[in-house]
Amino acid sequence: SGPCKAGFYCQGRAVTPVRDVCPAGSYCPPGSPFPVPCPPGTYSNTSGLRNLWECLDCPPGDCPEGTFCNETGLAAPQDCPKGHFCLAGSSLPLPCPVGTYTDVTRSGSCKPCPAGMFCSLAALTQPEGHCQPGHYCIQGSSTSSPVKGLRHRCPPGFYCPQKTGISFYPCPPGTYNPSYGLSQAERCQQCPPG
């Protein structure tokens, strides 16, 4: 009978395989009592590999953009999860930085938080919420009420309701606003007669 054949593994002291074909992500040299995982940087998407040299090199950069390879014995690179991005060759997913998010798997980059919304945490799968009334949030904002000096507060002559991006609304005709941070048109002041 002889040793267990290459491409199979024989549990215990068995010398013949009992339907134990070497699974994808592994190889089985002759006499293998168990599958040997393909080493990091390689993979196998087919079963029955007989030796280490049949494990395939991961695509250039180890794993393609949007995937990562952090384990031995992978049958294929792993998808980068939502809220993270994976550059080509990643061994771990990286969280989207503050001010960004990604709502899809297999992403190689993160999207900036849209104007009118904010993203104050890392690894977000969607923007956290809308900009607070009286403020406007530019694309990539990391807070609901940005205050860099008076730069992100609604300027005089305008009002900024919740959800305001980089465009703000002028006070209605016959009214004005002399201060920063107005959130409602009703708060614009009546122009004096004359």
pLDDT at 16: 59
Highest mean pLDDT among 40-49, 58-67, 93-102: 93-102
Q: What is the mean pLDDT of residues 67-93?
A: 83
List, in order, residues 6 or more apart from 190 with CB less than 8 Å away: 174, 175
Tens digits of residue pLDDT in 141-162: 888 887 654 456 788 888 888 7
Q: What is the mean pLDDT of residues 134-141?
A: 84
Q: What is the mean pLDDT of residues 104-116?
A: 93
Kindly indicate the confidence band of residue 1, based on its pLDDT and cuts at 50, 70 and 90. very low
- The span from the CA of 93 to the CA of 77, in Å, is 12
- The span from the CA of 40 to the CA of 56, in Å, is 11
The whole-model pTM stands at: 0.56
Nearest to 119 by CA among 110, 41, 17: 110
What does the block give as tokens for 54?
A: 């049949």
CATH entry, 131-194, from 2.60.40, 3.40.33, 3.30.70, 2.10.50: 2.10.50
List, in order, residues 6 or more apart from 20 with CB less than 8 Å away: 8, 9, 10, 11
